[in-house]
Amino acid sequence: MFLTDFRQEFYEVVANQRVLLLVASDVDALCACKILQALFHCDHIQYTLVPVSGWQELETAFLEHKDQFQYFVLINCGANTDLLDVLQPEEDAVFFVCDTHRPINVVNVYNEAQVKLLVKQDDDLEVPAYDDIFRDDDDEEEGEDSGNESGGSEPSGKRRRFEEEIVERTMKRRQRREWEARRQEIIFDYEQYEYHGTSSAMMMFDLAWVMSKDLNDMLWSNLDKLHQGLELAKKQLCAIQQTVASCICTNLIVNQGPFLYCYLMEGTPDVKLFSRPISLVLLSKHLLKSFVCSTKNKRCRLLPMVMAAPMDVEQGTVIMVGIPPHTESSDKKNFFGRAFEKAAENTNSRTLHNHFEMSTIELKMEDRSKFLDALISLLS
């Protein structure tokens, strides 16, 4: 359910409660959390903060704390999957979700009792209409009753009514199948692309502004941490630049047809750095941009990229990310999330979708080849 008045429908509801904050580990989530913490401190609202980096940690944190809280605030996690199906909460649990991940799961959108979504009003979400994806009628298959009671001796009027009922049930089944097919098509069109909406930090700052509590400290409180992180960021960019140059010079980027593919071998300098999703995505974007600028193949310039790196050598797993084509357009919708799910399903590949970004997966090393073959076939 979308909230229209964040102050009244969210903040004033939790103001006299003890709240559990479940916060993702990305920068936007951390900034949003700092602003919300400042508001909570100002109004003496009790809360417990638990950082979560993936779905497993979110489920574990919820299980550990669910008996102590009724109200849960999720920042940059929880919007793009059926939250109640994942967490299985009690009926009185209420989730306030401020999440930049799109698309928002339709079950979350139309759940008015337990899931409250903090979304900017002018965001273009294109959520399907309720009647297109949910049916309130009870068109369940009726029992095959009275079928054996229509013997040859029954009156013609009764036989006619029985035949009309058979035709009516057949029509209902056909309409149900047509509706289900249409529903699947609508859901696929809605969920096939992953993208990001308005920053969660901006949403929290807007809330502070509405409450006349927007302070400069909310924007600049961690400026010293930013300065401290500059040296680390420089080291990361140096590692990215060296890896990009190495990948291009050694022709590690392969045109797989519907996408470009690059795999970082074990032993590559700084490979442990790129076993982390955020670093691997950043490397992928720099690598794709450099490749597009250097290649003479015009078709390759329009392709997205899939990149993989060793994640845990002992467990034999790799981490894989997909990014959209490099374009000047602001439209950066990513279709790899659903494609990864379908490829894994078609090949029974052992994958783990533990990250809040759907276009990031973990995969068993020995399943990599068949997974890629399925992905190529799926996207061709």
Q: Look at residue 336 and tell me whether its pLDDT is greater than 60.
A: yes
Distance CA(48)–CA(27), nearest Å, equals 20
Mark whether 148 and 281 lie in a shared domain: no
3 sits in the region (left: phi over 0; alpha: psi -120 to 50; else beta) called beta
DSSP 59: H
Domain that holds residue 156: 131-191
Do 82 and 213 reside in the same domain of the chain? yes
Give the C-alpha separation, 288 to 293, whole Å. Answer: 9
Our count of domains for the chain comes to: 3
Is position 223 within any domain? Answer: no
- Residue 275 maps to which CATH number? 3.10.310.30
Q: What is the pLDDT of residues 277-293, one digit of tens each?
A: 999 999 999 999 999 99
> Which 3 state secondary structure label does DSSP give 30?
helix
242 and 372 assigned to the same domain: yes
Q: What is the pTM of this model?
A: 0.87
* Across 2-14, average pLDDT: 95
Examine the domain organization and report whether 108 and 139 are in the same domain.
Answer: no
Identify whether residues 143 and 291 lie together within a single domain. Answer: no
In a domain, 144, yes or no: yes
Token code pair at residue 339: 């494609």
274 neighbors 241 (Cβ within 8 angstroms) = no
Handedness of CA 275, 281, 283, 288 (dihedral sign): positive
User: Exposure pattern of 201-215 as b/e (b: 16+ CB <10 Å)?
Assistant: bebbbbbbeeeeebe
Same domain, yes or no: 346 and 365: yes
Provide the phi-psi class of 76: left if phi over 0, else alpha when psi is between -120 and 50, else beta.
left
pLDDT at 146 over 90: no
Q: For residue 224, is it within any domain?
A: no
Last residue of a domain, one of 218, 253, 270: 218
The pLDDT of residue 147 = 47
Cα dihedral 359→360→364→366 (10° resolution): 50
The pLDDT assigned to 214 comes to 86
According to DSSP, the β-strands at 47-51 and 94-98 are unpaired
Residue whose tokens read 């955020």 = 278
Cβ-Cβ contacts under 8 Å for 92 (sequence gap 6 or more):
70
pLDDT bucket at 170, cuts 50 / 70 / 90: confident
What crossing angle do the helices spanning 27-42 and 200-210 adopt, rounded to 10°? 20
Residue 269's Cα: distance from chain center in Å?
A: 31
Residues 77 and 99 in one domain: yes
Across 22-36, 110-124, 208-222, least confident range: 208-222
Terminal C-alpha separation, the chain: 37
Q: Residues of the chain with pLDDT > 90: what percent?
A: 73
Based on the fold, state whether residues 311 and 348 are members of the same structural domain.
yes
Whether 43 is covered by a domain: the verdict is yes
Query: How would you list the strands of the sheet with 305-312, edge to edge?
Result: 254-255, 260-263, 305-312, 317-323, 360-364, 351-352
